[in-house]
Structure 1
Amino acid sequence: MKNKILTVLCILFGLMMINSGLNKFLNYMPMPEMSEEMMKIMGGFMTIKWIFPLVAIVEIIGGALIAIPKTRALGALVILPVMVGIFIHHFVHDLSSIGIAVVLFAINIWAIIANWNKYEPIIKGE
């Protein structure tokens, strides 16, 4: 039963990441209202022209990988740095909306723990 729940959550998680990545390229979702501080942060990201396309590509690839059970272990690792960034950003700059970041981060960690046996050869150096 746990495995089925994790599969459903990972599919939803993956679809959210794919959607977020595609939105960075296609801009089909409206931007929420932002504080002046958030506007400065976004402006800083915009000056680094390669950061959004890189994050978008990682979100799309990682989202697709984590949604497929056979590649979930790899997808969970690929998307982890993005999730850490999302969590830290909300924790530091937008604490009122940290709820979804916590839920997504927890799903990512659960996927890693559930696939821990696949990482053991890497960790042990086999």
Structure 2
Amino acid sequence: MFMNAGLDKFFHYTPMPKLTDAQIKVFAAFNEIGWLMPLVGTVEVIGGLLFIFPKTRALGAIIILPVMVGIVLHNVCKDQSQMGIIISVVLFLVNLWMIVDNKEKYKALVS
């Protein structure tokens, strides 16, 4: 899902649902910052690729975490569609699960 979302930020192949006025303002602000969406797309693609392989999954989970927090906050605060909230929370929980599951690999970073 992360790789698909990241690639869509570059190639725009997924149709956009009808946006609310609040979402239009948010996306207009994102577009004003020309480098933001390509950066988020790059992080999603790299994090998604790293997440696939068990050896690099811990790094992928950490890379995706800030993007995932932003997605959950956007869906809860601005989108508020049931399906968007459910999907983002489930993906966030999977991300947290991977972080907890790989906690031994992070000990060197925080010791």
TM-score by length of 1: 0.84
Q: What is the alpha-carbon distance in structure 2 between the residues aligned to residue 27 and residue 46 of structure 1? A: 14
Q: What is the alpha-carbon distance in structure 1 between the residues aligned to residue 37 and residue 96 of structure 2? A: 24
1:43-58 correspondence to structure 2 within 5 Å: 43-58=28-43
1:8-87 correspondence to structure 2 within 5 Å: 16-87=1-72
* Partner SS for 1:70: coil
RMSD: 0.7
Q: Which has the larger radius of gyration?
A: 1
More relative contact order in 1 or in 2 (CA 8 Å, sep 6+)?
1
Aligned length: 109
Deviation at 1:112, TM superposition (A): 0.2
Deviating runs (4+, > 3 A) in structure 1? none
Name whichever structure is richer in helix by fraction.
1
TM-score by length of 2: 0.95
Q: What is the alpha-carbon distance in structure 2 between the residues aligned to residue 37 and residue 78 of structure 1? A: 28
Unmatched 5+ residue regions in structure 1? 1-15
Q: Percent identity?
A: 50
